[in-house]
Amino acid sequence: MLTGIDPVLSGELLLHLDAMGHSDAVVVADAHFPAERLAQRLVVLPGLETPRVLAAIRSVLPLDDSPALDLMATPDGGELPVQLQLMKAAQVEASGTRFVDRFAFYDLAEQAYLVVRTGETRTYGNALLRKGVVR
């Protein structure tokens, strides 16, 4: 156990977050996401919602420049409550958020350094962050 570290951040997850370089991406995915097929590296955190996991990751991960956050766009282009919670958890305003078509999001996820699949059951509860420079 470490002090000052969110308990959601397992040793395996911290290892991967630490190994990420500048501009490497981490996807925090809902339970519906095809993580096994797309991920180069996969950490599974069942039972946790994506905003909770995203907030824990943001407690140790600085963000890259805009767009700081990519979210999977809904077919009608509306913003769902889970997406608003993801923006808040990422500490990113709407102006720093990019909404990406579902299949384009899958393409980004396939290139991501890490995918973290959660137990989130709400649809479109997926976020992609790029690691910034640690100062």
What spatial distance separates the first Cα and last Cα of the chain, rounded to whole Å? 25
Count Cβ atoms within 10 A of the Cβ of residue 101 and give its class: 0-12 exposed, 13-18 middle, 19 or more buried: exposed
47 or 134, greater pLDDT: 47
Tell me phi and psi for residue 98, to 5 degrees. Answer: -115, 130
Query: To which residue do tokens 């397992």 refer?
Result: 10
* Catalytic residue check, 22: yes
The 10s digit of each residue's pLDDT in 16-44 is 999 999 999 999 999 999 999 999 999 99
CB 58 within 8 Å of CB 101: no
Average pLDDT over residues 35-63: 97
Confidence class for position 1, pLDDT limits 50, 70, 90? low
* pLDDT over threshold 90, residue 2: no
Which candidate in 12, 18, 22, 93 is catalytic?
A: 22
User: Which pLDDT score, from 0 to 100, does residue 65 have?
Assistant: 84
Confidence class for position 54, pLDDT limits 50, 70, 90? very high
Domains for the chain: give ranges and CATH numbers. Answer: 11-119 (3.40.1650.10)
User: Which pLDDT score, from 0 to 100, does residue 62 have?
Assistant: 96
Confidence class for position 113, pLDDT limits 50, 70, 90? very high
The 10s digit of each residue's pLDDT in 75-104 is 999 999 999 999 999 999 988 999 999 999
Question: What DSSP element (H or E) covers 93?
Answer: none
